[in-house]
Amino acid sequence: MAPTILIVGATGNTGRKVVETLPSLIKNTKSLANHRILCLTRSASSDAAKKLAQLPGVEIAEQNWVEIDAAWLQEHNVERIFVASHNEPAHFAEEGQFYVNCLRAGVKYVVRISTTAANVVPDYMAYYPRSHWAIEMMLSQPEFKDLAFTSLQPNGFLPMFLAPTAEFIKNYRKTGKQEGNLSLIIDADTPTGLVDSDDVGRVAAHLLGQEDFTPHENKKYVVSGPEDVTGNDIVKLVEEHIGTKVEKDKIAFKDLSFIDGMASQSPHPNLIRSIKQAPVTSWEGKCKSETTSKEVLELYAPKRTAAEVLKELIQ
């Protein structure tokens, strides 16, 4: 079987662009041109999976990645892996076990998606950045010296942060009324380097497509957007699209009320409520576009702006 680059989360918000970008990067290389790209998905019959399957060198497999063991990885001759894990309470246990299996199977290199760099510390109040910290610490230990990794630490994803904004615009276009709040996670005035998830996927693909990944071995790279944006900037974009001023009492900056709804549906409500602490570093000005790692700018500098992403979301 040909050597394999495995994509975990291939139809997700970052994985899709990894798969779309990677074939053209490896086709003219000496060591990677004959690698197949194996994409894991929950449903091979989904439109997203069918579209990816049409790309050269790409195969689709229905497989739950958390159930993959070392024997499966060896059977499929997996050499490199992209991982975009979930952020649920079992995150560390499941992603950690996966890397133990990768180590035993002789996988050479992993590119993984982490979270906002300023949050990846052992005492952060939100639970999931601590899980990312623990994963990165684990992979940095001598026991894992044979499994190289690069961890991408993106600032907030533009599509997620702008989804309520897009709904506000769509509803106004339908009704001609400003119904509900314009909900914004970021605050009014603090510049934040939100990044398009597609750009993060492109950065990951460029890492996976390196013939020699050793310069990026055991590195953590910050990935921000090409420009800073504030809550007030988003309000201005909305006004351009609806052709009128947003009513002041409709604007909700630093709005995290949706997390209470998530917590009420979770068996771990205290952990879910801790997510309210995740945007604090952005409100403190620690997540500006200038934080992007120079290696990222050299590989693939993120290009997509808030205005471009919002325009797509409302089409």
- Per-residue CA distances from 249 to 8, 216, 283, 291 (Å): 43, 48, 21, 33
Pairing of strands 109-113, 148-154: parallel
> pLDDT tens for residues 239-272?
999 999 999 999 999 999 999 999 999 999 999 9
Tally the C-alpha atoms within 13 A of residue 65's C-alpha that lie toward its C-beta: 24
Judged on CB neighbours under 10 Å (0-12, 13-18, 19+), 144 is: middle
d(CA 173, CA 314): 10
Pick the CATH number of 4-155+197-223 from 3.40.50.720, 3.40.30.10, 3.40.190.10, 3.30.379.10: 3.40.50.720
**Tell me, what's the pLDDT at 165?**
98
Q: What percent of the chain has pLDDT over 70?
A: 100
pLDDT band at residue 207 using 50, 70 and 90 as cut-offs: very high
Q: Considering the chain, what percentage of its residues have pLDDT values greater than 90?
A: 98
- The pLDDT value recorded for residue 92 is 98
Segment 218-238 shows an average pLDDT of 98
Over 90: is that where the pLDDT of 1 sits?
no
Residue 257: predicted pLDDT: 95
Per-residue model confidence as pLDDT tens digits over 155-203: 999 999 999 999 999 999 999 999 999 999 999 999 999 999 999 999 9
pLDDT at 151 over 90: yes
Residue in the block written with tokens 């197949």 = 36
Task: Report the CATH number of the 158-193+225-288+303-313 domain.
Answer: 3.90.25
Structure tokens, 313: 């979301």
Please give the pLDDT value at position 234.
98
- Examine the pLDDT at 287 and tell me if it is beyond 90: yes
Residue 10: predicted pLDDT = 95
Residue boundaries of the structural domains of the chain: 4-155+197-223, 158-193+225-288+303-313
Strands (DSSP E) along the chain, which ranges? Answer: 4-8, 36-41, 58-62, 78-83, 109-113, 148-154, 182-183, 219-223, 251-252
